[in-house]
């Protein structure tokens, strides 16, 4: 996850100027590796038929089924051969400009800790499982790999327009929580979903959330939830489509227009929406009652 609400301004002690740290793979203990294996087994049994083909191909290509937390020396050899991307370790969330600069240079920053058994199902900060299992397989896909580079460059540009919050929504509703319409059905490609057992079921099967066709400006107007399952998912027709519209659109005039357009609340449907499934929002309503 990257919800662009970072606090620190300078790298912590021991980190490099670009906030990277050595992965120090040798420092992970048997419990850490067991945690990875438990999470990996649970997700890899669930995801065939749910995750996008590109994601499942990435899991195979990177040999993520090898036991234990991946050693980036091996992982990066495979990833770099596929698309020129590498994974770099960082202590936790990093400043926005640092994050974007890594993406623009085909480096994906990954948090260097793994959750505890008590956090099997929920954690606030992205750990290795979310970052590596969730994000890295898609980076083996050449089209998605190019999208992430373009996003990094676009992120740096958005800062100059004071439009980070708009572009952050695009990240959220694609990279983190995106759905894709494959010829054989709706699939997950968002890292926030594929790294979560419960949301991998909810996002595809539950009648509660709205599923709406991707629309760039609509998404950049839409609030999102960082504390629970999403109430909206946006569906792309293909990765090629996602790359093409974002690459070929100059966002500067969109940012200017967005200043005059009201935000859209988290579960609202607007007249121009092309709806895949209209949600009941029952799940969110039941949670709010508690
Ligand atoms: N084309 C966008 C711009 O003009 C950059 C961008 C590309 C943003 C891909 C997001 C994803 O700013
Ligand atoms: Fe993430």
Tell how far the Cα of 247 is from the centroid of ligand 1, in angstroms. Answer: 5
Pair 121, 198: CB distance under 8 Å = yes
Q: What is the pLDDT of residue 2?
A: 56
Residue 168 CA: which ligand is closest? 1
What is d(CA 240, CA 145) in angstroms, rounded to the nearest whole number? 11
Residues having CB within 6 Å of any atom of ligand 1: 150-151, 154, 157, 170, 246-247, 249-251
Entry pTM: 0.95
Model ipTM?
0.93
Distance 136 CA to ligand 2 centre (A): 10
H-type alpha helices, the chain: 30-46, 53-61, 72-83, 96-104, 128, 142-160, 164-171, 191-194, 197-205, 216-220, 239-248, 251-258, 282-289
Q: Give the model's confidence band at 122: pLDDT under 50 very low, under 70 low, under 90 confident, else very high.
A: confident
Q: What percent of the chain has pLDDT over 90?
A: 89
Q: How far apart are CA 203 and CA 232, in angstroms?
A: 9
- 282 labelled binding-site residue: no
Residue identifier of the C-alpha nearest atom 11 of ligand 1: 151
Mean pLDDT computed over 187-208: 98
In whole angstroms, how large is the CA radius of gyration of the chain?
A: 18
Asked if 128 and 69 count as a contact pair (C-beta separation under 8 A), the reply is: yes
Residue 289 has pLDDT above 90, yes or no: no
> Is domain 25-289 annotated with CATH 1.10.800.10?
yes
DSSP character at residue 271: T
Ligand 1 center–CA 76 separation, angstroms: 26
Average pLDDT score over residue span 233-256: 98
């Amino acid at each position: 996850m990257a919800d662009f609400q970072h606090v620190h301004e300078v790298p912590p002690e021991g980190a490099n100027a670009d906030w990277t740290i050595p992965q120090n793979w040798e420092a992970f203990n048997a419990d850490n590796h067991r945690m990875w294996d438990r999470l990996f087994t649970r997700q890899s049994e669930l995801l065939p038929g749910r995750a996008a083909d590109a994601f499942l191909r990435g899991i195979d290509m990177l040999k993520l089924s090898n036991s234990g937390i991946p050693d980036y020396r091996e992982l990066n050899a495979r990833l770099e051969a596929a698309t020129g991307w590498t994974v770099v370790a960082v202590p936790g969330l990093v400043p926005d400009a640092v994050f974007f600069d890594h993406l623009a240079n085909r480096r994906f920053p990954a948090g260097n800790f793994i959750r505890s058994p008590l956090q099997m199902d929920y954690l606030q900060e992205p750990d290795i499982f979310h970052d590596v299992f969730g994000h890295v397989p898609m980076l083996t896909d050449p089209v998605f790999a190019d999208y992430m580079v373009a996003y990094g460059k676009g992120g740096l540009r958005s800062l100059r327009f004071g439009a980070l919050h708009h572009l952050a929504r695009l990240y959220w509703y694609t990279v983190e929580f995106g759905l894709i319409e494959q010829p054989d059905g709706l699939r997950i490609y968002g890292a926030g979903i594929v790294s979560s057992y419960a949301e991998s079921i909810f996002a595809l099967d539950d009648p509660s959330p709205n599923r709406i066709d991707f629309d760039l400006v609509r998404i950049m107007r839409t609030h999102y939830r960082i504390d629970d399952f999403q109430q909206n998912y946006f569906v792309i027709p293909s990765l090629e489509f996602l790359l093409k519209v974002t690459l070929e659109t100059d966002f500067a005039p969109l940012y200017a227009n967005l200043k005059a357009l009201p935000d859209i609340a988290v579960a609202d449907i607007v007249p121009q929406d092309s709806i895949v499934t209209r949600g009941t929002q029952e799940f969110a309503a039941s949670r709010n009652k508690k």
